[in-house]
Amino acid sequence: MGEWPLYEVFVRSKRGLNHVHVGSLHAADDEAALRNARDVYTRRNEGVSIWVVRSDAITASSPDEKDSLFDPSGDKVYRHPTFYTIPGSVPHL
Amino acid sequence: MNDDLFGGDSSQWAFGTDFEDPLAGVDTTMVDDVVADDLALYCLGLADDALIMSQRLSEWCSRAPEMEDDVALANLALDLLGQARLLLARAAAASPSVVPVLPEGSPVPPEDALAFFRSAGQFRNVRLAEVPGGDFAHVIVRLLLFSVARRELLERLRGSRDQVLAAVAARGVKEVSYHRDWSARWFLVLARGTGESRRRLISALDELWPYQAELVRCGAVDLALADAGVGVDPTTYAGAVDAVLGEVFATSGVERPSRGPLAGVGGRLGRDGVHTEALSLLLAEMQVVARAHPRGRW
């Protein structure tokens, strides 16, 4: 065995609003991956929804590009909306 | 089981727990127009089916073809073990006389006494559950035949006048629906996979088919409990079981096996305590530690 493709698993927990990456697994096809994810990652009553996606369908940024991709935003403090006062009557912003 | 997990502070867990007690708020009083021993025997039948299947499934732990299926099989085994615990406890509550007597002062609860201190002749499981395991196709076929019938049973048992049986069934039908789905998918995969997987599947089906009829046979206890609105007469869902299996066979391109049902001894089958020798061997392994320590606390 071992020829089964790798899948990444995302679970939305009962208290969460978004799906969170929880790990990966092997499966023969998409449906089997969903079942396997149910059995491996939600057996302790964690989830209400599962996404699976084949790992090779994910395009990831390269660690080599870290400097050029992310460092430039490191000193752009003006991009945070912190230069005005928030009225007290606005609870969530 | 750590009963503190029902409620309590769950903030220590990353995703929370929120476990539910399947019997929370359930009326545990006995239906008064049912013979207590009949109810106990009925519960033992359903409990033993689940317990012995669970034991056979757990033998696959660490032996499945992939880690993911290893975990899946262990999950299924634990689902059935949970059903068995509740049903054994109900049998003991219905008629304490069915519980083996242990040394005075033994802390072993009735459900454990029933699981670990009865001999093969006192078990009431269908023989399909006890036959020795084979290859992965064998576990798939056994689970399919078992879960198709048990799902139909539990679906109807949800309307039982016995509130505990109704609650166990309401919980169990969701679990067994998944078992049915899981095994049917694997049945299809093996049937349409390679020549070798198909050969193994058909061989397992041929071996296990003679045990299928026992799943939908109605005994005297089933009939008495069904008449009282507490149990279910298996012949009422035999047609539904047949239809589901027929659909799985058709989708998989597998012919319905032709072998006839395995005879009992003088008409007595697994539900009557007549078993294959495999059950004694299974029980020897399952019970040895508990029997060596009848005063043990687990």
Residue B35: per-residue pLDDT? 95
Q: Which ipTM did the prediction report? A: 0.71
Whole-prediction pTM = 0.87
How far apart (Å, rounded) are the C-alpha atoms in residues B4 and B19? Answer: 10
Instruction: Enumerate the residues of chain B whose CB falls inside 8 A of the CB of residue A44.
Output: 13, 15, 17
**Spatial CA neighbour of B128 closest among B223, B231, B48, B220:** B48
- The angle that helices B36-58 and B67-94 make with each other, rounded to 10 degrees, is 160
Instruction: Output DSSP code: residue B19.
Output: B
Asked if residues A52 and A34 have their Cβ atoms less than 8 Å apart, the reply is yes
Residue B184 main-chain phi, psi, to 5 deg: -65, -40
CB contact under 8 A, B15 and A15: yes
The yes-or-no verdict on residue B8 having pLDDT over 90 is no
Instruction: Enumerate the residues of chain B whose CB falls inside 8 A of the CB of residue A1.
Output: 65-66
The yes-or-no verdict on residue B2 having pLDDT over 50 is no
CB < 8 Å from A in window 108-167 of B = none
Domains and CATH numbers, chain B: 36-254+267-292 (1.20.1260.10)
pLDDT in tens, B182-214: 999 999 999 999 999 999 999 999 999 999 999
Residue B265: per-residue pLDDT? 86
The yes-or-no verdict on residue B257 having pLDDT over 80 is yes
CB contact under 8 A, B75 and A26: no
Contacts of B124 (CB under 8 A, 6+ apart): B41, B44, B45, B48, B270, B271, B272, B273
Domains and CATH numbers, chain A: 6-83 (3.10.20.520)
Residue from the list B16, B75, B181 with its beta carbon closest to the beta carbon of A13:
B16
- Strand ranges across the sheet with A47-54: A20-26, A6-13, A47-54
Compute the average pLDDT of residues B280-284: 97
Residue A26 main-chain phi, psi, to 5 deg: -105, 145
pLDDT in tens, B12-23: 555 555 677 888
Strongest mean pLDDT among B6-10, B67-71, B126-130 = B126-130
Asked if residues B222 and B231 have their Cβ atoms less than 8 Å apart, the reply is yes
Instruction: Enumerate the residues of chain A whose CB falls inside 8 A of the CB of residue B184.
Output: none
Residue ranges of chain A with per-residue pLDDT less than 70:
1-2, 93
Asked if residues B227 and B276 have their Cβ atoms less than 8 Å apart, the reply is no
Contacts of B232 (CB under 8 A, 6+ apart): B153, B156, B157, B160, B222, B225, B226
CB < 8 Å from B in window 2-61 of A = 4, 11, 13-15, 25-28, 31-32, 35-36, 39-40, 43-47
Compute the average pLDDT of residues B288-292: 95
pLDDT in tens, B71-99: 999 999 999 999 999 999 999 999 999 99
Residue B1: per-residue pLDDT? 42
Where in B191-281 does DSSP place strands (E)? none
The yes-or-no verdict on residue B5 having pLDDT over 70 is no
Residue entry with tokens 């009848």: B294
Residue entry with tokens 């035999």: B238
Structure tokens at B110: 């009735």
